[in-house]
Chains A and B, each alone.
Chain A
Amino acid sequence: MRLARAYGRAMWDARLVLAYTLLLSLTLFILAPFLMIALRSVGKGWFGRLWLPPQLTLDWYRWAVEVGNIPEVMKNTLIIGVIAVAVSTVIGIFAGWAFGRRQMPGKEVLMAIILLPRMIPPITYALGVAQIFYTLELVDTYLGVALAHVSVCAPYAILVLSATFEGLDERVLEAAGVCGANTIKRFFYVVLPLIMPGILASMIFSFTHSYNEFTLTLLTYGPHTVTLPVRTYLAVGDGYWEITSAMAMLMVVPSLLILAVIQRRAKPEKLVGGFKGV
């Protein structure tokens, strides 16, 4: 009896230790680099083995904005992101409808092909995209970079929206028809509201992927289409760690905003799958 209890306590302790270890390492992995950059972006005269920067400043941010041309770069990033989201969502709706609502032969194979750009090494895929875009003169255009991003955003949109359409109850649509709604009214009054959570989820996924995309941008950007990740990477090459850190921090802000919106507005379980009839 006592042995059992001791064993139980030991197990409990072991579990506790495991939990703390996991939590700690997660915190370290996620927070440490972030903290490092955050401190670096506001520290002045931080050399050697000091634990904390001796002086705080916002100068690096000013530099980042002025020298790094962050407003322009941010504008590029957002425009490209919006185009990528729009194109991927439209593709996602049509493909998701087909995957989610129809029995079709070779569904699995098609799905695998769509997911392919995500499976092969990004640089390999990006090289191919770049070569095609050079011949099509799409390099250094908003549309070009956005289309490159679509190759990674669309698979997510398709996955999410397929699940959404699969969750759509066929009989609810049938009911709307019997009630007198033609195809267009059925779509706007019933289908659209029911797949809206899925569309939002797919838009958020697409946007974050476009916003963070690096490899594909690197091979298709030009002077007029520098995006935040690329600009930050270039700043690293210039050797100014502080300014680079400030840029990196600025880059995180929109991501955090999106995260906040997701947390506030949408329940994750609502985003994927949509509603069910019963």
Chain B
Amino acid sequence: MTDVTIEFRDVSKRYGTLVANDHLSLAIRKGELMTLLGPSGCGKTTALRCLTGYIRPDEGRIFIDGQDVTDVPTHQRELGMVFQNFALFPHMTVQDNVGFPLMIRNLSKAERAQRVAQALRLVRLEGYESHYPRQLSGGQQQRVGLARALVYRPKVLLLDEPLSNLDAKLREEMRFEIKEVVTRLEITAVYVTHDQAEALALSDRVAIMNRGRLEQVGTPEEIYEHPQSRFVAEFIGLSNFLEGYVQAVDGDTMVVSVGGLQMRIPVLAEAGPGQRVLLFLRPNEVELLRPDDPGGANVFDARVEKVTYLGDTLDYRLTFGQGLTLRVQSDAQRRFGQGAPVRLRFPRVRCWAITGN
């Protein structure tokens, strides 16, 4: 008995010359909520469709519960799926929509009614049995979609951007609802989204995709704290990138030369002197000091180019070193005007670098 429920093994899918999935390999553990995160068009839906069997990968195999299902037709894969546009059956009532998978499986009418009632209770939609989808709001329709996907206890729950068609407030609410249901049922789930905040909030692990390839797989913390590529860093909202090269390695610290300045950052295992690196800095993790504050390691003089007032924070564009620019956000307590000299401090442990070329 393996604890891997789903496995993509080297899966590729092409549409003409366009590679929608490029040698995808990913293992999803039992009971885990795995998110496929990436910009629109990066191949997330294609990956899900390979999993449902709606399309057949050109190469590679798909495993569910250790069984190779690559050639098993969709209707035999025992999956549940929630769609971005809800994809409810417009000609059926809520009752019949949710009961559809049970009807297909020839369950008795009484059993069907009982299971449907249970599923509707789970998504808090009791009393809507005889409504048609078009009579429901988006949020309610998506709850019906969720109930329909869960009613027959599928092995895996798939969700393809289930919240994208809802407005912002409802989206946040439903996010936690989905998370709660998935946790309560201890079901393995694959969640697709292009919204990084959603992915970080929901997932046990996140797989970031870019142009059909997997960029990085890890827990939300790993992804957020230690992005392994510039794409991942940018995608989860980092905006400061500084290029430099390693000057020296000193224990757990390495000295990196950036625009003529020396920065001390945590050492990278694979980096030796001369290695080019890319530094990531979050705008809210750089400290702004007064120009007469004491200097020290990782403290540099800078000048304010532009300030934008954002309410509880101020957004600065700064220049420092030899032609380096940086975005910094700090609380509105200590203010610097345009053109003012400031000092920057980069907390050593908040600096994250990857090797670059």
Chain A interface (Cβ < 8 Å from any Cβ of B): 169, 171-172, 174-182, 185, 189-190, 193-194, 275-278
Contact = CB atoms under 8 A, between A and B. Distances in A.
A171 B85 contact: yes
Contacts of B80: 178
A172 B74 contact: no
A122 B53 CA distance: 49
A180 B100 CA distance: 9
Contact of A185 (B83, B104, B165): B104
Interface stretch (B87-95, B218-226, B280-288): B87-95
Contacts of A179: 75, 100-101, 104, 148, 152
Nearest to A174: B54
Given A178-B74, A181-B75, A172 B104 contact: no
B155 to A, nearest CB: 12
A41 B75 CA distance: 63
Contacts of A275: 90-91
A278 B75 contact: no
A6 to B, nearest CB: 48
Given A277-B86, A278-B86, A278-B165, A178 B79 contact: yes
A171 B75 contact: no
A190 B88 CA distance: 10
B83 A175 contact: yes
Contact of A178 (B81, B85, B88, B91): B81
Interface in B155-190: 158, 165
Interface in B57-88: 73-81, 83-88
A175 B76 CA distance: 13
Nearest to B83: A171
Contacts of A177: 52-54, 74-75
B100 A277 contact: no
B100 A176 contact: yes
B136 to A, nearest CB: 11
A166 to B, nearest CB: 15
B334 interface: no
Contacts of A277: 85-88, 90
A119 B152 CA distance: 54
A41 B100 CA distance: 57
Given A180-B152, A185-B104, 8 more contacts: A174-B74, A174-B81, A174-B87, A178-B158, A179-B101, A194-B90, A275-B90, A277-B86
A175 B81 contact: yes
Of residues B74, B76, B83, B158, which shows the largest number of chain A Cβ atoms within 10 Å of its Cβ?
Answer: B74
B149 to A, nearest CB: 8
A177 B89 CA distance: 12
Interface of A is mostly: helix
A182 B75 contact: yes
A171 B87 contact: yes
A172 B100 CA distance: 12
A276 B90 contact: yes
Contacts of B85: 169, 171, 277-278
A189 B75 CA distance: 14
Contacts of A190: 89
Nearest to A194: B91
10 contacts: A169-B87, A174-B83, A178-B75, A179-B148, A180-B78, A181-B104, A185-B104, A193-B91, A275-B90, A276-B90
A172 B54 CA distance: 12
A276 B88 CA distance: 10
A170 to B, nearest CB: 9
Contacts of A181: 75, 100, 104
Nearest to A276: B90
A178 to B, nearest CB: 4
A277 B104 CA distance: 21
A171 to B, nearest CB: 4
Contacts of A175: 81, 83, 87-89, 148
B101 A180 contact: yes
B219 to A, nearest CB: 28
Contacts of B86: 277-278
Nearest to A179: B101
The 10 closest A-B pairs by CB, nearest first: A171-B87, A177-B74, A175-B87, A179-B101, A180-B104, A275-B90, A178-B81, A193-B91, A182-B75, A172-B87
Nearest to A192: B91
Nearest to A172: B87
B100 to A, nearest CB: 5
B95 to A, nearest CB: 15
Contacts of B49: 174
A176 B81 CA distance: 10
B309 to A, nearest CB: 40
A140 B79 CA distance: 57
B52 A174 contact: yes
Interface string B119-154: 000000000000000000000000000001100100
B85 to A, nearest CB: 5
Nearest to A186: B75
Contacts of B104: 179-181, 185, 189
Nearest to B91: A193
Nearest to B54: A174
Contacts of A169: 85, 87
A172 B88 contact: yes
B2 to A, nearest CB: 24
B100 A178 contact: no
Contacts of B73: 182
B331 to A, nearest CB: 43
A185 B87 CA distance: 17
